[in-house]
Structure formats: C-alpha cells, structure tokens
Amino acid sequence: MTYVVTGATGPFGRLAIESLIRRGVPAGEIRGIGRQIEKAADLGVEIRKADYDDPGALRDAFAGAGKLLFVSGSEPGRRLTQHANVVAAAVEAGVELVAYTSILNAATSTMDLAHDHRATEKLLTESGLRSVFLRNGFYYEVYTGQLPTYLEHGIAGAAGDGPIGGAARADLADAAAAVLTQGPERQVYELAAEVFTLATLAEVVTEVTGTTVGYAPLTGEQYREVLKGAGLPDEVADFVVGIDLGIAEGNLATSGDDLAKLLGRPPVSLREALAQ
Ligand SMILES: NC(=O)c1ccc[n+]([C@@H]2O[C@H](COP(=O)([O-])OP(=O)(O)OC[C@H]3O[C@@H](n4cnc5c(N)ncnc54)[C@H](OP(=O)(O)O)[C@@H]3O)[C@@H](O)[C@H]2O)c1
C-alpha cells in the first residue's frame, strides 16, 4: 500500500507524514508531493515534485497510489482548477481512498474561504472516488503566531462573539493520518478541539502570559482600516476581514468530539498551545 501525501512540503503535510510513520506505516510506503521539494528532503520518504497546475506531473506523482491525503492548495482564485486536476489524477491512478482537508461546515458555510472546499467536496463525490472530508477547524497557530502582537497591542477583530472551532495543526494532521491508517468510519468529520471567541482568546492569553490583553471588537470597516494601517495590501485586508465576518456569522461553530475520537486521546487545548 502506497500512501501519498500532497502538500508534503508544507507544515500540515509534513506533520501528517510524521504521524503516518508514528502510526506504523513504513517510510518506504509513503510518498510526499510538493513543489519546493527540497523543503521535504529530510522527511526520509520518497518525495516527488508536482504542481497542482500540472496534470501530467500529478499523474506521474500519483502512479501506484493506494491512499491519498489531498492537502488543499493555498492559492486563492486558482485552487478550484488545481483541485480538479488533483481529483482527475487520483481517478486516473485508481486511488482507493482520498482524504481531503476541507473546512468546518463546508456544506453550509457562507465564508468565501469555504467556496473552494465545498466545490472540491462535490468534485470528489461526483468522481466516484471513495473520499473522506476532513473538515478542519482553524489552526490554533493562526492565533498563537500573533502572540507578540497581542501582547503589544491587544486583540482586535471583526469576529464579534463568533465561535471559532480550532485545534493544533499537529492534531489535525494526526487525525488525517488516523483516518488513512484506520480507515474512515464515515465520510464527513467536523474537526475541532475546542470552540473559543476572540474575547475568550484574550482571557486565555492574559492567564497564560500574566499580561493583561484585551479584545477590541470592531466593525468590518474599522478592522479593514486597522489592517491597512498596519501595512496589509487592500486585498489581503479584505480577505482577513471576510474571515472575521464569516466567524461572526457562526460559520466556524461546531460541537461534537470527532477529533478526540479519531486521535484516541484528548486533543491539545488552546491554553496548552498558547503555553507552548
Ligand atoms: N485550518 C486552517 O486554519 C488553515 C490555515 C491555513 C491554511 N489551511 C489550508 O490547509 C493547507 C495545509 O496547511 P499548511 O499550514 O501546511 O499550509 P501552507 O504552509 O500554505 O502549505 C501549503 C502546501 O500546499 C502546497 N501547494 C500549494 N499550492 C500548490 C500547488 N499549486 N501545487 C502543489 N502544491 C501546492 C505547498 O507546496 P510548496 O510549499 O512546495 O509550494 C505546501 O506544501 C493549506 O494549503 C490551506 O489550504 C488551513
């Protein structure tokens, strides 16, 4: 059985490959795919170069693949065409199982970010491939990576009191490896370790660091001005504001324990992630 992992040159794919090995898959049965393949050279598995824009390279890269972890691309505006190439190559390779990294509530989410995920889930369903949708919550790292800014300026955002289903990236990658190695029990997994708001994030940051950090809830327009003032280009500021407004509408709400069940252990909490 050959396990193929796309996005192997990024943090999620790397963590998933490390988890597959920890879960007993021989390194010789794992193949990572990426563009900047030198980034994955130390993983100790076969790495092949393929761009999602290159159907021929994808076909070669997937040859002989048994199970595919399809890590969603990262280029807004191009992803859907790229993802269609990945699905077509998986069909051609006769892949037995595809696990795709989607977003929480992909079927109903009104966030722009969810559009490509929903469309990719549809492509997979219509392809006839046996597929699993790993609807990942937001990585804690999206927020913990901003800790120095929080400590200096506090937390600002337009997410209101919207719930954010989140988890450590490593736990989501481990869950992906679990689905591939154990076999899926169903098609859709909504994956989050816990649900927090920007206000509770501020409280946890305060508790963990001992520095009082507040949360300033802003309108979309106010937040856009803050981001632009911090030097973000207009389109990036719009993208970030759109995410927060989508959170305010409840698109990242979730309940249930899909992640803990897949992991077979409690996932890392936001507090632990911040402390680390
Ligand atoms: N849940 C969340 O909070 C969250 C946050 C950010 C992103 N995401 C999604 O989760 C995915 C994985 O997360 P990550 O942290 O590992 O993201 P990342 O650091 O952006 O890495 C993206 C990976 O996708 C590969 N990739 C992008 N475009 C590609 C293309 N055209 N052809 C082939 N490979 C391509 C990159 O390859 P190279 O490095 O070799 O170019 C890299 O390996 C992201 O791509 C994005 O869809 C989720």
Determine if ligand 1 sits within 6 Å of the CB of residue 60: no
Q: What pLDDT score was predicted for residue 26?
A: 98
The correct CATH number of 3-136+168-191+255-267 out of 3.40.50.300, 3.40.50.720, 3.55.40.20, 3.30.460.80 is 3.40.50.720
Phi–psi pair at 233, nearest 5 degrees: -60, 155
Determine if ligand 1 sits within 6 Å of the CB of residue 55: no
List 138's β-bridge partners, or say none.
166
In the block, tokens 């699905």 appear at 87
Q: What pLDDT score was predicted for residue 5?
A: 98
Residue 193: how many other CB atoms lie within 10 Å: 25
Query: Ligand 1 centre and the CA of 15: distance in Å?
Result: 12
Query: Ligand 1 centre and the CA of 72: distance in Å?
Result: 6
Determine if ligand 1 sits within 6 Å of the CB of residue 52: yes
Q: What pLDDT score was predicted for residue 59?
A: 97
In the block, tokens 């972890």 appear at 69
Phi–psi pair at 64, nearest 5 degrees: 80, 5
Where along the chain do its domains lie? 3-136+168-191+255-267
Determine if ligand 1 sits within 6 Å of the CB of residue 51: yes
Q: What percentage of the chain has pLDDT greater than the value 70?
A: 100
184 band by pLDDT with thresholds 50, 70 and 90: confident
Whether 76 shows a pLDDT value over 90: the answer reads: no
Determine if ligand 1 sits within 6 Å of the CB of residue 100: no
212-256 pLDDT, tens per residue?
999 999 999 999 999 999 999 999 999 999 999 999 999 999 998
Cβ 87 vs Cβ 130: under 8 Å: no
Q: What pLDDT score was predicted for residue 145?
A: 96
5-21 pLDDT, tens per residue?
999 999 999 999 999 99
DSSP 93-157: HT-SEEEEEEETTTTT---HHHHHHHHHHHHHHHHT--EEEEEE-EETHHHHTTHHHHHHH-EEE
Contacts of 223 (CB under 8 A, 6+ apart): 156, 157, 158, 240, 241, 244
Instruction: Compute CA distances 269 → 35, 160, 237, whole Å.
Output: 32, 22, 29
From atom 41 of ligand 1, which residue's Cα is the shortest distance away?
Answer: 35
Determine if ligand 1 sits within 6 Å of the CB of residue 140: no
| Surface-to-core class of residue 152, CB atoms within 10 Å of its CB (0-12 exposed, 13-18 middle, 19+ buried) | exposed
Pocket test for ligand 1, best of 6, 9, 12, 87 (most atoms within 8 A of CB): 12
88-136 pLDDT, tens per residue?
999 999 999 999 999 999 999 999 999 999 999 999 999 999 999 999 9
Distance CA 132, CA 125 (A): 9
Phi–psi pair at 81, nearest 5 degrees: -60, -45
